[in-house]
Chains A and B, each alone.
Chain A
Amino acid sequence: MMVERGGWRVKTIRLWLPLGVYMIFTLFPFYWMAVTSLKPNGELYNRKIMPLLVYHPTFKHYVDLLTETNFLVWTWNTFLVSVTSTAISLVFGVMLAYPLARMRFAGSALIAFGVAATYLVPQPLLFIPLADIITRLGLNDTLTSVILTYPTLLIPFCAWLLMGYFRSVPHELEDAARIDGATRLQTMFKVFLPLCTPGFISAGIFAFTLAQNEFLYALIFLTQTDVRTVPVGAIAELVKGDVFYWGQLMAAALLGSVPVAIIYSFFVEHYVAGLTAGAVKQ
């Protein structure tokens, strides 16, 4: 870092002012979720009073959300689907990344290109044919439909990130294990993969976030309330025609964001590593 000239005045203009304005812009929607979810309906729909404050906070919307809707079921579904599809994606991701990063074989360049291309295929290109395929397989309104399709979005990403990580591990330990007579599979599982835990955490946390965020497939495949995920449930069942249950919607938005935010807060560094992995590798 260079030597900064000038005192607090320069620092205010260069740092705190832009940062402060930006942070307000960034965090305001979350504040607004929290405030709204605590307002009684009388305050919520009163044009006269200043909307940024709560005058008589109430947990009514939370109670209603948890007792009158299937929010807990949706939360469980979202969690189950995210964890399962992340696990599948990590396994398949390793199976792609390990040979591509550590071995030489004919066709590897083609496979590597295919993986990158798959990552860039926009989801809207696939949803219409997939909807038809899922119907023909009889998987509509089952969690299996999204557990099968989410990995298609996550595997290319996991494989790509893990390839970068795998390449950075030195070869010596593997070579030693091979000379000692370990098979390739043993070398991979007992020597190599344990060295790569940080890579798995990065890929896993990122894939988990993507799975929680997915909306399009869930919207199309899951039409029954008991199989829905949180985003689809909130949009489909807390909005009835033109009536928006804003208190409950904001409570759902906040509660639906909390699990990801908590998990993320433990692994910020890994998440950032995953985020920047593709772009900043020199």
Chain B
Amino acid sequence: MSTTALPAVYVPVPRRASGFRRWTEREDVFSWLMIIPPVLFLLLLVGYPLVYGVWLSLEDRPVARAGTFVGLANFIADARDPVFWQVVQNTFVYTSAATILKMVGGLGLALVMNQDFKFKNTVRALMLLPFIVPTVLSTIAWMWILDPAFAPVNWFLRNLHIADPGPSWLGNRHLAMMSLIIVNVWRGLPFYGITLLAGLQTISPELYEAATIDGASTWDRFVYVTLPLLKPVIYIVTMFSVIFTFADFQLVYVLTRGGPANATHLFATYAFDLAMGGGQLGLGASVALAMLPPLALIIIAMSLYMKPNKP
């Protein structure tokens, strides 16, 4: 690709500039010139904050005042804080329950959608709505669906004489966590469903035909043909989903603000409360950073168990 000898006929450039020109036309120089501006941008606004966050976590740092270096004191404070351990537990419950439900439900959805039927494209477009509509806005709607007094859920419970006045969905610690998981699944299922559907469509029908001729039942075909071939897609989708569920903020902030009694606080909302509500930037940064080791562990574990073997 080093055809850099340019005939002057095509590009009339003064001779003096040709040295510089030849330099910028080199593949590596051109590449780096292209790449440097976005890389600088990302270093300034992602790399620097990341490092600065680590520094903050080692400081006692009230808002709008200079911090003092305190070493690991914030992390020790976290370890002694019962709310912190509650947060850890909540995050694990929330992430694992929501991920499993989305994985199983999404697989079911993809299998159902992988049949021929009328209006398939319309159905698929409607199905994705929860994923594209701003989360905060749809979560507000969910909050109102779960309203104990005026919402449809409890109206049905009352009128079918199951419960009167009906539970306080966001006021009870277990129900609040369950509600959060349901809303998370509602929002995330389309991503699983549509991506797995795209994965299903790459599987050649001939494989199923061959399996059928060999006497495989529907279940056999699913276990021995569909699942192994879908594994790489499931792996990537789940990894994304785990990271973003683990670090979720919006749903909790809108629905429960971490309540009742911290029963639904996640790392992000607790860090937010400490830093923005309590003005303790250092302590908040330490809680946010504490999210990394468990998340890394989950990702490594997932890679070991689920990563498709390279052919």
A interface residue numbers (CB < 8 A to B): 1-2, 4, 14-15, 18-19, 22-23, 25-30, 32-33, 36, 44-47, 50-52, 92-93, 95-96, 98-100, 103-108, 111, 114-115, 118, 120-133, 135, 148-149, 151-152, 155-156, 159, 175, 178-185, 209, 212-213, 215-216, 219-220, 230-232, 234-235, 244, 246, 249-250, 252-253, 256-257, 260-261, 264-265, 268, 271-272, 275-276, 278-280, 282
Q: Determine which of B31, B56, B133 lies in contact with A132 in the assembled complex, contact meaning CB atoms within 8 Å.
A: B56
**Interface size class of chain B, counting residues whose CB lies under 8 Å from the partner chain:** 35 or more
A sample of 11 cross-chain residue pairs with beta-carbon separation below 8 angstroms, ordered by A number, consists of A4-B115, A15-B112, A26-B127, A95-B34, A122-B295, A128-B53, A128-B56, A159-B38, A181-B7, A244-B144, A280-B195
Knowing A128-B285, A235-B254 touch, does A275 contact B45 (C-beta < 8 A)? no
Q: Is the CB of A1 within 8 A of B115?
A: yes
Complex CA–CA separation, A50 to B152 (angstroms): 8
B194 touches A125 (CB 8 A): no
B259 at interface (Cβ–Cβ under 8 A)? no
Q: Is the CB of A131 within 8 A of B25?
A: no
Stretch at the interface among B78-86, B96-104, B168-176, B286-294: B286-294
Q: Which residues from B are CB-within-8-Å of A155?
A: 38, 41-42
Give the docked Cα–Cα distance between A52 and B159 (Å).
13
Q: Known contacts A122-B247, A180-B10, A181-B10: does B52 contact A29 (CB below 8 Å)? A: no
Cβ-based interface call for B249 (8 A): yes
- Complex interface: chain A residues within 8 A of B151 (CB): 51
Q: Is the interface of A mostly helix, strand, loop or mixed?
A: helix
Which B residues are closer than 8 A to A by beta carbons? Answer: 1, 3, 6-7, 9-11, 21, 24-25, 27-28, 30-32, 34-35, 37-39, 41-42, 45-46, 48-50, 52-53, 56, 64, 108-109, 112-113, 115-117, 121, 123-130, 132-138, 140-142, 144-145, 149-152, 155, 186, 189-191, 194-195, 198-199, 202, 205, 208-209, 212, 232-233, 236-237, 240, 243-244, 246-247, 249-250, 253-254, 267-268, 271-272, 275-276, 281, 284-285, 288-289, 291-292, 295
- Distance, CA A19 to CA B119, complexed state (A): 12
